[in-house]
Amino acid sequence: MENAKDEVIDNEKLFGKNRVKKTFSKADPHEIEKLYEDCINYINDQYSTKDKIKICQSIFNGLSELSLKLSQDAVKNMGKCYDISLLQNRVIYDKAKYQNKRNGGIKSSKTKTINKLNPPLEDYMVFDIHPMSENYMYQAVNSFQTGEAIMVRTSTYKNWLDRFPVEQAINKDELDIDWTKPIKMFIKVDCLAKFDSSNFIKATNDMILNRIYLEDDSIAKDTIISTNKIVDDYSKGKIYVYIQNL
């Protein structure tokens, strides 16, 4: 019992939310993977989801400082800097998972009540990308073989597909959804004022259901979409998604 208490104290000295940045900024590059594993195991037991998000950001910042110091001898430390960048990608992924757990989409306990007619915004998954309008998804071009007009994806749509932050989606097995039954999609968007939000449904449902969760989007028998906020720049756009069985 005493040893367990001592271990918690030692870990707090390394991974406490006010110390973790310094820990990673001064870490041995050869030990950062194990250090990160130990840190995640510790904060998962000791901290709230809100604090875990802050700690992940501190780890990312600490790794940035470490990489900056090593880059002063770029030739010698190129491999170490690359390993740090890979770990930073993992930190970003873990932070996104914590954010989605905090924002909702998961029924964390039997006491959690879901308003099926109007789920609160904090229960939605959040994707940091401007929604794609159906009007910009396809364009008509002449077929090389037949000369007839055919519909193909626009470069704008292809770019949106490539940039979509799929890592921000909640794991399929963590959603309380029976995928053999019809579902209802709730979508909210932060978008530019010039767009009609109803035109965002097709691309969003296709991305979430077909591409991320590998389900036929025809199971979405009802989709409710609304504008959450008007933004002044395309880069500030967001998509909020909540899924439930009918």
What is the per-residue DSSP string for 79-141? Answer: HHHHHHHHHHHHHHHHHHHHHHHHHSSS--STT----SSS--GGGSEEE-SPPPPGGGTEEEE
Give the integer Cα–Cα distance in Å for 230 and 227: 7
**3-state class (DSSP) for residue 229:** strand
Assign a CATH topology to domain 121-245. 60s Ribosomal Protein L30; Chain: A; (3.30.1330)
Q: What angle do CA 174, 178, 180 make, to 5 degrees?
A: 135
β-bridge partners, 139: 152
Q: Does the predicted TM-score (pTM) go above 0.75?
A: no
CA distances from 166 to 72, 135, 149, 169 (A): 34, 22, 33, 6
Structure tokens given for 228 = 């959450």
Tell me how far apart the alpha carbons of residues 184 and 202 are, in angstroms, rounded to a whole number: 14
Reduce the DSSP state of residue 196 to 3 states and report it.
Answer: coil
Measure the CA–CA gap between 143 and 149, rounded to whole angstroms. 6
- pLDDT tens digits for range 18-37: 889 999 999 999 999 999 99
Ranges for all domains in the chain classified under CATH 3.30.1330.70: 121-245
Please give the pLDDT value at position 173. Answer: 85
b or e along 133-143 (b: 16 or more beta carbons within 10 Å of the residue's beta carbon)?
beeebeeeeee
pLDDT digits (tens, 9 = 90+) for 187-215: 999 999 999 999 999 999 999 999 999 99
In 3D space, the residue among 63, 86, 89 whose CA is nearest the CA of residue 71 turns out to be 63
pLDDT digits (tens, 9 = 90+) for 81-132: 889 999 999 999 898 888 887 776 455 444 444 456 778 888 899 999 999 9
pLDDT at 1 over 50: no
Q: How many CA atoms lie within 13 A of 192 on its CB side?
A: 10
